[in-house]
Amino acid sequence: MEQHLYRLEVETSGRGLVDVTARLCRWAAGTGLETGLLTIWCRHTSASLLVQENASPDVRTDLEAFLARLVPDGDRARYRHDEEGPDDMPAHIRSVLTQT
């Protein structure tokens, strides 16, 4: 069995959905493999992988708006954990809800 490893680092300027599909597809194509299993692991505790269609940018916009309503930032009455800012605990909750 042949294995290939790749570390993809994603720079962000804050909260948001980031499409990594093209970067992963380029890497996979470069391995020369035609069939296989791609395992993606997100090492950050307040980030997650979300598998969705990407035909319309409205999907991302609507998902971000929904998550913001569902788990709002800065709700000090609800969340005690805020060591990294008012979005710290909401980010952890969102990663639990979207965990793939």
Q: Note whether residue 54 is domain-resident.
A: yes
- Please give the angle made by the CA atoms of 54, 59 and 60, to the nearest 5 degrees: 90
What pLDDT shows up at residue 27?
95
What pLDDT shows up at residue 7?
94
What pLDDT shows up at residue 79?
82
Q: Note whether residue 46 is domain-resident.
A: yes
Q: Note whether residue 65 is domain-resident.
A: yes
**What's the total number of domains in the chain?**
1
Residues spanned by the domain of 62: 21-97
Query: Across all residues in the chain, what is the average pLDDT?
Result: 87
Confidence of residue 50 (pLDDT cuts 50, 70, 90): confident
Q: Note whether residue 90 is domain-resident.
A: yes
Question: What is the reported pTM?
Answer: 0.76
Q: Looking at residues 80-94, what average pLDDT do you find?
A: 81
CB within 8 A of 17, min separation 6: which ones? Answer: 50, 60, 63, 64
CB within 8 A of 74, min separation 6: which ones? Answer: 86, 87
Q: Note whether residue 86 is domain-resident.
A: yes
Q: Which residue's entry shows tokens 């954990």?
A: 81
Q: Note whether residue 16 is domain-resident.
A: no
Q: Which residue's entry shows tokens 């009455």?
A: 77
In whole angstroms, what is the distance from residue 80 CA to residue 7 CA?
Answer: 33
Q: Note whether residue 7 is domain-resident.
A: no
